[in-house]
Amino acid sequence: MKGITHFLAGIAAATFVPGVAESAAQGSYLILLGGFFGLLPDWLDFKFVRYFEHHIDIDPDPANLDPQIIAGAVAAEIDRAADTHRSIRLQLHNIPLGPNRWRQYRIRFDAERSEVVVSIGPIVNTALAPLAEAGQRVARARTTARIDYTYDGEMTVDIFNGPSFAFVPKAHAVEVQFLPWHRAWSHSFTLAAVLGLITGVLFGSIQAGLVAFLGMSAHIVEDQLGYLGSNLFWPITKERSAGARLLHSGDAIPNFLAVWTALVLILFNLDRFSAPVQNREPLFNPPIYFGALLLLPGLILIGVYAWERRKVQVQRAAAQQADIVAELAETEV
């Protein structure tokens, strides 16, 4: 989901805490704490965690841009993970050539042939418009270890720094995990509970603690609707659980529907909680309000989205990768 979606979901969750909506109607900013914690998990990952990851750097030399060197270096790390029975993390870096110029390259893991495939692409600018072609330059490096990689297509590295991978040795093969630092401990209900407790103590308010917990939990629940999933109960759980695969985090319709749902809930809770304070009856009748503003448009948008998804079938792992790329690109802009 996009940042604005998580922000509004956090605020909507905060309005369910008794007293928060009433205080918001009187000018309190406590409700915004829910939006802050709704953004916090991705902020932790993309602005903090990713920079403290220990990894092997693959930094191509612009003066000696040989795809065989890149492919061979990646394949060597996969084999080293298998030989040492230890997980190895690897970071691909982009290739800046000067002001507003980057050399594009692509990497793919061929599980059937146990090969790492690297191809050199064109020079591009910030708008990703090709400035000069590179010609057909493709290299393959075979690994001794078997590769467990089900992502579809290639990963492209250009204006943003490249992705990181974890090569995790398993019984049958070396598993390639995409962006292993994302949606790990930062996307857990246990961390949400701890931060909620700390926030409640700092603010001296049970309300503030509940707002923090619910705002962060709303983010985790939204992410769990997609393909990648999260490590829901770290440190009790060690791996990211599979998502529900109901949507893609970068798709327009799910994001719009989530934003719309959050706004509908916020307005409803503001009205029903502020009405007693203002000595009046609530303005909204729940069945009519939710039927007209949520149920009907929700069914229409879900139907349109389901119809569009039937047109293009995307493999699960490829969709997981696409979800993370969408989030990464949003934080880099």
Give the per-residue SS3 of 13-29: HHCCCCCHHHHHHCCCC
Residue-level pLDDT at 325: 61
| SS3 label, residue 145 | coil
CA–CA gap between residue 129 and residue 284 (Å, rounded):
51
**Distance separating alpha carbons of residues 181 and 160, to the nearest angstrom:** 17
With contact defined as beta carbons under 8 Å apart, do 186 and 45 qualify? yes
Distance of alpha carbon 221 from its chain centroid, rounded? 12
Question: CA 75 → CA 69, 143, 176, 280, 297, distances in Å?
Answer: 10, 5, 11, 70, 50
pLDDT at residue 247 in the model: 79
Q: What pLDDT does 149 receive?
A: 82
Please, what is the Cα angle at 264 between 261 and 268, to 5 degrees?
140
Residue 179: how many other CB atoms lie within 10 Å: 22
Q: CA–CA separation, 255 vs 32, rounded Å? A: 20
The pLDDT value recorded for residue 280 is 85
Bridge partners, 176 (sequence order): 167
At 164, list the tokens: 């990181």
Mean pLDDT for back-to-back runs of 10 residues, the chain (333 residues): 90 93 83 95 90 89 91 96 95 91 92 93 88 80 90 77 89 88 92 97 94 96 86 90 79 90 93 83 91 92 83 55 59 46
The pLDDT of residue 333 is: 40
Q: Residue 14 burial (CB < 10 Å; 0-12/13-18/19+)?
A: buried
pLDDT score at 328: 59
pLDDT in the model for residue 318: 56
Amino acid (one-letter) located at 198 = I
Coil, strand or helix: which one is 140? strand
Q: Cα(74)–Cα(131) distance, rounded to whole angstroms? A: 28
Report the helix count and the strand count for the chain, using DSSP H and E. Answer: 10, 11
Distance CA 322, CA 71 (A): 22
Phi–psi pair at 128, nearest 5 degrees:
65, 20
